[in-house]
Structure formats: structure tokens, C-alpha cells
Structure 1
Amino acid sequence: MNYKIKHLVTTLAALLLLGGCVSTKTLFGDAEQEVQTNEQEQAPITQETAGAQGIEVEPISPEEQRALDTAALVNASENRFQASKKANAPRTRALLLEALSAYQNEEYEVALTLMQSAKQLADPMNSSAYVLDGDIYVALDDVDRAAKSYDNALSLNPDNFKAANRRALLHREQGEFEQALTLYSQAIESYSAHAPSYRNRGVLYDLYLGNKALALKDYQMYADLLTYQQSQTAQDAVMLTSLSEAQLKREARRVKGWLIDVERQVQAQVDNVARQADGTE
């Protein structure tokens, strides 16, 4: 062993023993359990405190740091819509479940008839029901009625991030980019772990508003949320999107391509600005 390292280890062992913190077996990894004689537990070693204590800690990679940040975001995210949404009355709910089943089976006219029956009941539909109503109209290519249904959903609950995300898409398709941006940001504010809203806002920044730097940021967040969802076990899965496992893999590959492309464009913009500053162009 290098003399300086050996001397450092010996000194550290002596200091720890004098302080009553550990035994020599614990220090060198021979004991199963730490012997704690202090009344207060020792604080865990972090990257910041390790340097001050002279302990070398291997730094984590940017990918690992992003994974930690994404997990923290998901765990800390408050789903404001989930906390504020109202349940449908039993009769309304029964019709809505039938309508949802018909919609999923692509029986859109049947689904629409069931939705109309639900609207005629004395019990009003909740915000989520109007999202389904809008989805059915989208499938029937009736954009105006779809937009009205999503607007109804948002009027009942502005925190309905799914309604905001869908309505923003219709705004974008109609060339109303600022309205779309406002609603995508509203969706993310209501639930900061909603992956599709990051994806769609990234597309808006990238292809319609020409802000490549903000597009790159949203694409990266979307990719990180997809990676997080893929890392979850079936029992502990946090559903950040409605994609299946196979769809998640395909989408992850696709967004990786977007990231490479937009990163290249952002770097080209930076290089161009630098050249102009140097007077080479």
C-alpha cells in the first residue's frame, strides 16, 4: 500500500475509534453491523460531505443523475386533477363505461349514442366524461364538437391535464400556437409528470415555434419519463403514459432520434452565433 494512503487510513481509524463511532472490524468491512455508541446516528455521506471528510466517492454519470432527478420529480409530483376530480353518479357511470368500451372497440357511433344518453340524465357528467366525449368526436372527425367537449371538461376542472393536452393539440392543428402553448404548460402545471404534455409541447417548440433549445429540454424530460416508466416493475408501475411496454420501447427509440437531431441543431445555432460574434461571417 502507498505510504501516504496507509498513513491516512491508520489516522482515520484512530480518530474514529477515539470518537467511539465504530470498531476496527466495522471500519474495514469485517463486521456485519455498525457499532454505534453515539446517541445520534451519523449523517449519511454525500458527494458534498465526502470531500470535506477526505473520503473519495465515485461521481455518478449524467444519465444516473437524470434518473434520480426524474424519480424525485415523479414522487414529488402532485396530481392536482386526481385530488380535485368528482365522481359520476352510478347511472351516469354505467353509461360512460359502456361508451368507453364501445370507443375502445372503435364502435364510435354506438359510443356517441351512449354519451348522449348520459348527458340527458339529471346527474351531470364530470370533467373526465367530457374528455371521452371529445375523444369520440375526434374519432368521428368532428373537430368543432371535440373542441367544445374539451372546453367543457376544462370549465368543470381546469386541472384536467388530459383535457388541456388534447385541446392544445386541436389549437396547434388550427395554427393557434400561443393558445396551444398555454394549455400544454397548464397541463404540466397540473401534473408535472404527465409525459405526453412534454412530448407535445416539445413538438410545438421544435416544429412550429422554432425554439430548439426549449424543444430539446421538453424532449429530454419526455425521454426521462419514458425511461422511468420502463424501469418500474409491473406491481409498482407508475402510469405516466397509456403506452404498452412494446410501445414504450418504440417511442423511447424514436425520441432518442429526436434528441440527437435537435441537439445538433442547437449546437449549430450556438456555433453560428459564435462565428457572428467573431466576425467570421
Structure 2
Amino acid sequence: MTTLKILRLIISLFMLTLLASCSLITTNKDDSTRTKTEVKTAEPLDSETPVAVEKINWPAAALEQFLQGNELRSRDAKMAIQHFQRAIDIAPTMGSAYYNLMHLLLDQKDYTQLEELDKMLESAQLKSAPLFNLLAVAQREQGHFQQAEAYYMKALLADPNHLASLANMAILQDIYLRQLALAKHYYEQYQTQLAIQQKEDKRVKNWLIDLQQRLNKEQAK
């Protein structure tokens, strides 16, 4: 057997050993709850479902920019962002444009621009649970858990029944802030609102069982 063949055999055996060792790695059972993921809220909004409670007749120029942004958002995010920004420049309280723009910026992890939009929301006095929810998700992704909590509180002040904010606040309290009693409260509120809206999230039942077990352990200490 040549030296080259021997070398190849040694490398092959090393790779097989490495792969075998990787397959033995297991996940700590206590980390299973970390599979809980936040809800950004279903799909980006269209012009027929603005964030604002009342339907508003937006200026034609703003609506045109908004529709162009919607058309481009799945194939040219950069151009879509520009169109949504122009729509907001024309109509500073156009909630649906903010919402779709935030979705794109969140996907791109552009937290700096999201902070600027937050200032614009405050200036426009636009209080919207879906928008605050997205800002909270951005803060959580950066590891700013207290700031995320504050935004979820803003969202729930704007709409106490907003499903995404209730679910995300529960997950934040559960996984990141370790406030288990608060987490239980928000999970139960989320579950109640789902029932009222004739919806179901089968995961929550299991999460609550797991959470109650951890609460019992804490209380037993």
C-alpha cells in the first residue's frame, strides 16, 4: 500500500470517528423549552388591512408607494424598503407601511433602522400592538430583555388581547427572565384569547404542564 493510500485511510478513519462522536451529543432535557419561538404576527399587511383600528383613506401617492413595496417585498427587499419609507414620508401615520417595513428590517437584522422607526412612531403618536410587538422581538434578538418586556407592555396596553404579544411576553418571562409565575399568567391569557377567537395552539398546553412542574420544584425548595 502506497504512502498516499495510507494517508487517505487515516483521514477517512478520523472523519468517521469524528462523525460518530458528534452523533453521541445529546441536548439537556432542561433546554427543551428553548424551542419556543416568538410570533411576529402572521403575514405582512396589505392595503385593505391597516394596523389602525379605523380604516383610513391614505393619500394616493402614499398608497401607490405602499402597493409597490408590497409587490417587491418577496423578491427585492431593498427596493421594497425604499417604497415603504416613501409611503411613510407621505403619510407619517400609515401603520401598515410601518408594519411591512419593520418585518423586512427585522428579517435583515437592521436594528439601527428599527430604532429610528421607533422614534418616528413616537413622533406620529402611533400606538399599535403589532408594531410594538415587532420592536420587542428586535430587542429580544439583541439580548435586551428588559427593553423587550417594556415593548410588550406597550403592545398590551394598546391591545390587551393581542395574541402575538401575549404569547411572546409569556415566552420572554419563561425562557429569558425566568419569571415563571408571570409566564404562567401570560400563557393562560394567551390560551383564553385563543379560545375566545375559536383558535388553538396545541403547544401551549404542554408548555403550561412543563411550567407548572418547574414552579412546583421552585416552591419545594
Q: TM-score, normalised by structure 1?
A: 0.54
Whichever residue aligns with residue 76 of structure 2, its letter is E
Between the aligned partners of 2:190 and 2:99, the Cα distance in structure 1 is 23
| 1:197 correspondence with 2:165 | yes
The residue number in structure 1 matching 2:105 is: 137
Change (3 A) 1:185 1:141: closer
The residue number in structure 2 matching 1:155 is: 123
What aligned pairs does 1:109-124 form with structure 2 within 5 A after superposition? 109-118=78-87, 123-124=90-91
In the alignment, is the contact (CA less than 8 A) between 2:58 and 2:94 conserved in 1? no
Superposed CA offset, 1:162-219 (max 9, x none): 2211111212222222222121111111111101111111111111111101001101
In the alignment, is the contact (CA less than 8 A) between 1:168 and 1:181 conserved in 2? yes
| 1:82 correspondence with 2:53 | yes
What is the DSSP-based 3-state SS (H/G/I as helix, E as strand, rest coil) of the residue aligned with 1:223? Answer: helix
The residue number in structure 2 matching 1:96 is: 66
In structure 1, the gaps of 5 or more residues are 1-79, 232-247, 273-281
What is the DSSP-based 3-state SS (H/G/I as helix, E as strand, rest coil) of the residue aligned with 1:193? Answer: coil
The residue number in structure 1 matching 2:135 is: 167
In the alignment, is the contact (CA less than 8 A) between 1:96 and 1:114 conserved in 2? yes
What aligned pairs does 1:33-48 form with structure 2 within 5 A after superposition? none
In the alignment, is the contact (CA less than 8 A) between 1:81 and 1:190 conserved in 2? no
In the alignment, is the contact (CA less than 8 A) between 2:191 and 2:204 conserved in 1? yes
Change (3 A) 1:198 1:119: closer
What is the DSSP-based 3-state SS (H/G/I as helix, E as strand, rest coil) of the residue aligned with 1:152? Answer: helix
What is the DSSP-based 3-state SS (H/G/I as helix, E as strand, rest coil) of the residue aligned with 2:92? Answer: coil
Of structures 1 and 2, the one scoring higher in RCO (CA 8 A, sep 6+) is: 2
Q: TM-score, normalised by structure 2?
A: 0.67
Between the aligned partners of 1:87 and 1:213, the Cα distance in structure 2 is 44
Between the aligned partners of 1:226 and 1:101, the Cα distance in structure 2 is 31
Q: CA RMSD in A?
A: 2.5
Aligned structure 1 segments of 4 or more residues deviating by more than 4 angstroms: none
Q: Percent identity?
A: 24
The residue number in structure 2 matching 1:262 is: 211
In structure 2, the gaps of 5 or more residues are 1-50
Between the aligned partners of 1:115 and 1:225, the Cα distance in structure 2 is 32
In the alignment, is the contact (CA less than 8 A) between 1:88 and 1:126 conserved in 2? no
Between the aligned partners of 2:114 and 2:56, the Cα distance in structure 1 is 21
174, 190, 201: which one aligns with 1:222 = 190
| 1:253 correspondence with 2:220 | no
Change (3 A) 1:266 1:260: same
Whichever residue aligns with residue 197 of structure 1, its letter is S
| 1:107 correspondence with 2:76 | yes
